[in-house]
Structure 1
Amino acid sequence: MPKDSAGHLVPGRVTALRHVPSRIPRPEYVGKPGPAPSDRGDVYTPAEIELIRESGRIAARAIERVGEAVRPGITTEELDAIGHEFLIEHDAYPSTLGYRGYPKSICSSVNEVVCHGIPDDTMLEDGDIVNIDITAYTNGFHGDSNQTFIVGTASQEVTLLVERTREALNRGIKAVAPGREVNVIGRAIESYAKRFGYGVVRDFTGHGVGAAFHSGLIIPHYDAAPAFDDVMEVGMVFTIEPMLTLGTSEWDMWADDWTVVTRDRSITAQFEHTLVVTERGAEILTLP
């Protein structure tokens, strides 16, 4: 079990990259150190939005499939295999696989891992929580989503954190409207999280997504006014993905240059959707 004497996670054993059939188109960054710079912009046509929705639906259904398997005794490596196979069965490429060298098809972030946890031989235990982050690439577009799952039965404090993080995402989505600056999203999220004394992670944000896995658009999850003043417009596509903690918002990075953990090792939860700005607000593109 990859945990230290205090019960905190330590790196486990990571297996080789999984095979993707040659029939499935790859994003342009696969096999390269990083993606090409994106100047595509973040506003999409109705036809393009439908293609992003198709990728988002596959990602959402993959998360559902993985979530059904979450239980005490399963490893995050086994969860990665389930997510990978679901994507392949639906002719989608796992966007994380090979992105800047990331070695797996999902991100599995357990307990104090804020984001980008690499699946390995970590065995889930009763009372843990695990965030499953999956992005699907098909028809030239990415759809990105994540959910946090409770393993067995968690404490009331942790259960409430998970429920309230989901609600924080909902409140961020409700703040979306054409003509508003993107910083209103973080204001809605942080004002809600502060009611419960939660930390709001600042350095990992929502982002533009679609033709690029990550465009240059940044969506903060905290009250960043007057910074981040991009104005939302109809057809703009991006993610909202708040990360709330039971303690500090400060973080440390493991030596793998991916796994982000809370500095005080407090429990953290996250939820994410890809959405498009509409005349009436926002429409979620990552529903099953």
Structure 2
Amino acid sequence: MKKFRGIYLKNENEIGLLREAGRIVASILEELRIHVAPGMRTLDFEELALSLCDAYKVKPAFKGYLGFPYALCCSVNEEVVHGFPSQRVLAEGDVVSFDMGVVHKGFYGDSALTVPVGKIDARAEDLLSVTRDSLFVGIDQAVAGNDLYDISRAVQKYVEGRGFSVVRRFVGHGIGKQLHEKPEVPNFAPAGANRVSLQPGMVLAIEPMVTAGKPEVEVLSDKWTAVTKDRSLAAHFEHTVAVTKNGPVILSVRD
């Protein structure tokens, strides 16, 4: 593993291990997704995530990380990220975001998605579609030789061009043997930021967080759950992506 400006560059073997971790996360998220329905408690998904970690023989990455008490971040409606699984019951028309990470053979996998609960209204459908598509617009810019902030600019332009807002307080990140490594990957173009040239071997967790209203968020009294200040709906999609000489490769997908 080499370093470039404090950023760890992964070799082919390390990217292979990150792909294995990402594949497991993707499989867990798919199991969670297919169980989403009105009447489910968000705590039910925590229990399912833990059982799947046991089945895959991996460690849940988030549980205990900086004191976070759960394996799964489960955020509903106006909750942007870091929501606690609880006795809350999902209702028709809600949207629920799952953010999940695992540790596999010393490497981290990390991914997220937002799921409709039953039938949702047109504005919510549009929010989910735009957030998901903005992720892939950003991934398309994860090309060796590009500026890191080409990813940020692409996400921001796509989201804001469709009438939504990108959250500034939380950003994506490098990932590898640590859950959060350099560099930060914002979903907006930070003013005055120095250019960071993307290099083969960089592995990035790219994760647009988008709101139907304004971009400002606040953290609740549990010191974790981030909600939109105006209580508008939020969505969150994330993939772990390797920068390679042949273009971006998404690692957090199932076979």
Report the TM-score range of the alignment, normalised by the length of the smaller protein.
Answer: over 0.9
Which amino acid is 2:140 matched to?
K
Q: Residue 247 in 1 paired to residue 213 in 2?
A: yes
Q: 2:45 aligns with which of 76, 79, 101?
A: 79
Specify which structure has the higher proportion of strand.
2
Match of 1:213? 179
Instruction: Give yes or no for contact 2:6–2:182 (8 Å, CA) kept in 1.
Output: no
Match of 2:64? 98
Instruction: Give yes or no for contact 1:59–1:87 (8 Å, CA) kept in 2.
Output: no
Distance 2:239 2:8 in 1: 16
Structure 1 segments of 4+ aligned residues over 4 angstroms from their partners: none
Q: 1:142 aligns with which of 88, 91, 108?
A: 108
Note the C-alpha offset of 1:42. 2.5
Instruction: Give yes or no for contact 1:240–1:272 (8 Å, CA) kept in 2.
Output: yes
Note the C-alpha offset of 1:46. 0.3
Q: Residue 43 in 1 paired to residue 5 in 2?
A: no
Instruction: Give yes or no for contact 1:87–1:93 (8 Å, CA) kept in 2.
Output: yes
Paired residue total: 250
Structure 1: gaps (5+ residues)? 1-38
Instruction: Give yes or no for contact 1:169–1:240 (8 Å, CA) kept in 2.
Output: yes
Instruction: Give yes or no for contact 1:40–1:211 (8 Å, CA) kept in 2.
Output: no
* Alpha-carbon spacing, 1:219–1:62, altered in 2? closer, same or farther (3 Å): same
Distance 1:161 1:227 in 2: 28
Q: 1:197 aligns with which of 163, 167, 170?
A: 163
Note the C-alpha offset of 1:225. 5.2
TM-score by length of 2: 0.95
3-state SS, counterpart of residue 155 of structure 2: helix
Which amino acid is 1:176 matched to?
A
Q: 1:232 aligns with which of 187, 190, 198?
A: 198
Note the C-alpha offset of 1:228. 5.3
Q: 1:173 aligns with which of 135, 139, 163?
A: 139
Instruction: Give yes or no for contact 1:218–1:228 (8 Å, CA) kept in 2.
Output: no
Distance 2:208 2:141 in 1: 14
Note the C-alpha offset of 1:215. 1.0
Distance 1:218 1:120 in 2: 30
Instruction: Give yes or no for contact 2:218–2:229 (8 Å, CA) kept in 1.
Output: yes
Instruction: Give yes or no for contact 1:205–1:218 (8 Å, CA) kept in 2.
Output: yes
Q: Which moved more, 1:257-266 or 1:179-188?
A: 179-188
Q: 1:54 aligns with which of 4, 16, 20?
A: 20
3-state SS, counterpart of residue 143 of structure 2: coil
Instruction: Give yes or no for contact 2:80–2:235 (8 Å, CA) kept in 1.
Output: yes
Kindly provide the CA deviation profile for residues 150-171 of structure 1, in whole angstroms up to 9, marking residues without a partner as x.
Answer: 0000001101110111000000
Match of 1:88? 54
Instruction: Give yes or no for contact 2:130–2:162 (8 Å, CA) kept in 1.
Output: no
Distance 2:196 2:46 in 1: 35
Which amino acid is 1:185 matched to?
I
Cα RMSD of the aligned pairs, angstroms, is: 1.3
Instruction: Give yes or no for contact 1:72–1:151 (8 Å, CA) kept in 2.
Output: yes
Structure 2: gaps (5+ residues)? none
Match of 2:92? 126
Distance 1:185 1:55 in 2: 23
3-state SS, counterpart of residue 103 of structure 2: strand
Distance 1:225 1:185 in 2: 15
Distance 2:196 2:7 in 1: 12
Q: Residue 151 in 1 paired to residue 134 in 2?
A: no
Instruction: Give yes or no for contact 2:173–2:180 (8 Å, CA) kept in 1.
Output: yes
Q: 1:107 aligns with which of 53, 57, 73?
A: 73
Distance 1:222 1:99 in 2: 26
TM-score by length of 1: 0.85
Aligned-pair identity in percent equals 37
Distance 2:144 2:191 in 1: 17
3-state SS, counterpart of residue 9 of structure 2: coil
Q: Residue 265 in 1 paired to residue 231 in 2?
A: yes
Note the C-alpha offset of 1:47. 0.3
Note the C-alpha offset of 1:198. 0.6
